[in-house]
A and B are shown apart, each in its own frame.
Chain A
Amino acid sequence: MKVKTLLLGAAASFALAPAAMAERGSDGHVNIIYWQAPSIMNPYLSGGTKDIEASSLVIEPLARYDETGALVPWLAESIPTVNNGGVSEDLTTITWKLKEGLKWSDGTALTANDAKFTADYCMHPEGGCASASFFEGVESVEAIDDLTLKITFDSPKPNPYNVLVGAQSPIIQAAQFADCLGAKAPECTDANFNPIGTGPFVVDEFKPNDVISLSANPNYRDPAKPAFATMTFKGGGDAVSAARAVFETGEMDYAWNLQLAPDVIANMEEGGMGKAIVGFGPLVERLEMNLTDPSPDLPADVRSTRKAPHPFLSDMDVRKALSMAIDRELLVEVGYGQAGKVTCDLVPAPDNYAAKNDYCVGQDIEGANALLDEAGWVDSDGDGIRDKDGVKLSILYQTSTNAVRQDFQALIKQWWGEIGVETELRNLDASVFFGGDPGSPDTFQKFYADVEMYANTFAGTDPQQYLAAYRCGNEPKPESQWQGENINRFCNEEYDALLDEFAQTGDIEKRGEIAIELNNMLTKDSYTIVPLVHRGRVSGQSNTLGGHALNVWDSELWDAADWYRIEE
């Protein structure tokens, strides 16, 4: 028995040996391709995912979300909670403890002062910080001692884990950025391109909008990591060529965000050099119903604003019928394959906040027809299109230019045709559609259409801000330069009251219940938002790259320190 245990122990230690014996820089070079090229290595000056993720290789936050959406301590010793005393009983302060012995890549020590400086940097009134929303409600940030950081909020924060948590708000070095506060921030080119960090890699050369050369950080806290000595981070091209580079030619080890039709990806995977990996965050492809009238005959300050209700989409039966006519299983099959799931929810993840509705599963053309008949929408003039009181069910349906979205448009147009609804399709260049230019009539905020389709998601794991977008008054309108997140112009007093309650609630289970209720008010009970597909994020990973778990809650490169080369 004893011998057997010993033998087993020996065998186990042999099996573990390669991992234990791995040393920094032993696995050579790794290539990453992002088909959108990073233009800066400072996430505080750019909201672009590409910039945030590239900089996450170098600079790190106090805590991160792991691949399951759970918060894990990163530069901090542990996650402060009310139970361990890190968060005060009244939810107004949070106290972080830093790990001991952390060093910047230049060899100096990381202190709580750097964290305090980072907060000052982003909260500077002249700064124009891209992550400013993460620091909302922060009253003060103090460094109690070298390793202790105390953040005080101006009101109770049920979710205090926004400040200096996640890829959007990492800690930067006070010494390096000392002269870059406020309006001077964008002028510090050297610091913005070559930040000194605590992460596994340091920047050797940064070519904006092209390529970044990195090498292993000699002062990284784990002496055995990262396994790669150097890294090339290539930017630019398009999703198709990025996918080819990983799956077919093997030039690249990792490709980010490959939104391609499932048959296209499956076909490329036959190249045998890599595989597609999928992770599900809260990203939902949805139809947004315009509750206001987008008619071009209306004056500019009335069109698509709450002053003019929509002639037929303000009728809930119409919205419901439009949703019932859609075959979501088919949409998933055509557009996303394994990277999509049918969903009826606005918040499909994380688990605690997901309503898991199934009211929209299965197409019901007959039911939709019956519903419209009952509501008085009948084809009275025999042109094949339902009408009521001279108003025709004729829809302008817009989205961004993307092969999968155009396929969806064609399918949905056909189904709506079957229930007597006429549809005109329109697709707009993504940079215009999502550009937010208040002068353009074609932005998704202006919503000069009846129905529009796009995908949206929220950062982190808490949907409070995301659901608060649908507060009455938060809609894009001329007075707000067409900025605002309440795209549907949804307005419901009960909803707003529940939102207020949500913001006061700290208990995680209770929060889940409220979030589900809010979700249902927008979807199941009102069909204001018609969810279609819960979309996963697809990335490409080489067969020889190991140690990676696709993370949709934080930077995709969050575990770059653990990456290693699988020997063939």
Chain B
Amino acid sequence: MTDEIQAIEALQDNAPLKPHRSHSAEVWLQFRQHKGALIGGAFIIFITLFVLIGPWIWQVDPGKLDIRAKDYRPIYTAIWDSEARVSWAHPLGSDQLGRDGLANMIYGGRTSMAVGWAAMLLALFLGASVGVLAGYFKRLDGPLMRATDLFLSLPILPLMLVAVTLFRQPLRTMFDSPEAGMFILIVGVIGITSWMHTARIVRGDILALKEREFVLAARSAGTRSRGIIMRHLLPNVISPIVVSATFGLATAIITESSLSFLGVGFPSDFPTWGKMLADAVPRMTEYPERVMLPGIAISLTVLAVNFLGDGLRDALDLRIRGR
């Protein structure tokens, strides 16, 4: 009797070799391996908090002019130049009209990040949808790809100028504030004119993937198209999508600044990183920080998104997990 029980117990696996882990835990584990991605992610959280919570901590109106306090240098200038005009009231200096540099960085970042993310997500959604549909459904391929070609052949800047001329006034009246109307318009215009490359890349990948054995297996098991796309195809094209997302964010921030520069973007007293940069160019040699600070902020944000995307791709890709 006892032998029998012992024999049965011996068959039991009461100490598993490896603890069971959920899918998201797997992803996290893999993601943690990528130091760059961790730092990038941390920076994005930091910059997001900086622009979101910043105004509560640094309660200075970015548009307030104080001509007596103009042309302050950032506080760190005092380290090598003891005669520099610095003040703790303006830790990042002030511009030629005495507007506070730090407050402008915070508010400018808010706009730039919001425009960048919203336009990027919109472009991503459009591009991925078009790409997947065109790649998967043969009869949609022709029309959708011709539409993509059509959009690619449109000159983007003139198109934007026309769109802004046509829709600025109606949107402004609809939202009762020039900034909100302009935000929708800029995000919409950038999103609609920058999805094409994502669509082409995704379509190419889908075309190759849908002939692979695991997709055939899923199809022969009776999985519907929707299931195949969501479970089998999309996770496999996540890496090109993430890569184009990182480009998209950067282009959106920069396109917004060129629109502002041409005078069809936000009103001139509404700060964005791109506009701060453009405005500071004539005084670049004298006050390099006015170009450097927003420039570095844009570059670091874009770089961080790039690293984050890289890490995400590694973590999400089943083929390289565990290596």
Contacts and interface: CB of A to CB of B under 8 A. Distances in A.
Given A261-B96, A407-B97, A410-B269, A441 B165 contact: yes
A482 to B, nearest CB: 15
B282 interface: yes
Nearest to A403: B282
A425 interface: yes
A296 B262 contact: no
B269 A429 contact: no
Nearest to A240: B282
B282 A264 contact: yes
A78 interface: no
Contacts of B285: 267
A388 B141 CA distance: 61
A410 B173 contact: no
B63 to A, nearest CB: 7
Contact of B263 (A407, A414, A428): A428
Interface centre among B262, B264, B269, B282 (most CB of A within 10 A): B282
A135 B271 CA distance: 49
Nearest to B285: A267
B284 to A, nearest CB: 9
Contacts of B282: 240, 260-261, 264, 403
A406 B173 CA distance: 24
Contacts of A441: 165, 169
A427 B281 CA distance: 18
A432 B168 CA distance: 16
Contacts of A424: 178, 267
Contacts of B264: 428-429
A523 interface: no
Interface in A178-223: none
B269 A296 contact: no
Nearest to B71: A263
B153 to A, nearest CB: 24
Interface in A353-384: none
A296 B97 contact: no
B194 to A, nearest CB: 22
Interface range, A side: 20 to 34
Interface string A401-422: 1010011011101100000000
Interface string B253-288: 000000001111001110000000001011101100
B67 interface: yes
Contacts of A410: 63, 65, 97, 99, 268-269
Nearest to A396: B178
B172 to A, nearest CB: 8
Nearest to A423: B269
Interface residues of B, number: 24
A409 B281 CA distance: 19
Nearest to B267: A425
B283 A264 contact: yes
B279 A403 contact: yes
Given A267-B285, A406-B279, A427 B263 contact: yes
Contact of A267 (B267, B269, B286): B286
A277 interface: no
Interface string A247-264: 000000000000011011
A409 B263 CA distance: 13
Contacts of A426: 178, 263, 267-268
Contacts of A425: 267-269
A403 B262 CA distance: 12
A440 B166 CA distance: 10
Contacts of A132: none
B96 A334 contact: yes
Contacts of A263: 96, 283, 286
A333 to B, nearest CB: 8
Nearest to B275: A406
In the complex, the 6 A-B pairs of residues with the closest C-beta atoms, listed nearest first: A401-B263, A427-B263, A406-B268, A425-B267, A428-B263, A427-B268
Interface of B: 63-65, 67, 96-97, 99, 165, 169, 173, 178, 261-264, 267-269, 279, 281-283, 285-286
13 contacts: A240-B281, A260-B282, A263-B283, A264-B283, A296-B169, A401-B262, A406-B268, A407-B96, A407-B97, A409-B269, A410-B99, A441-B169, A442-B165
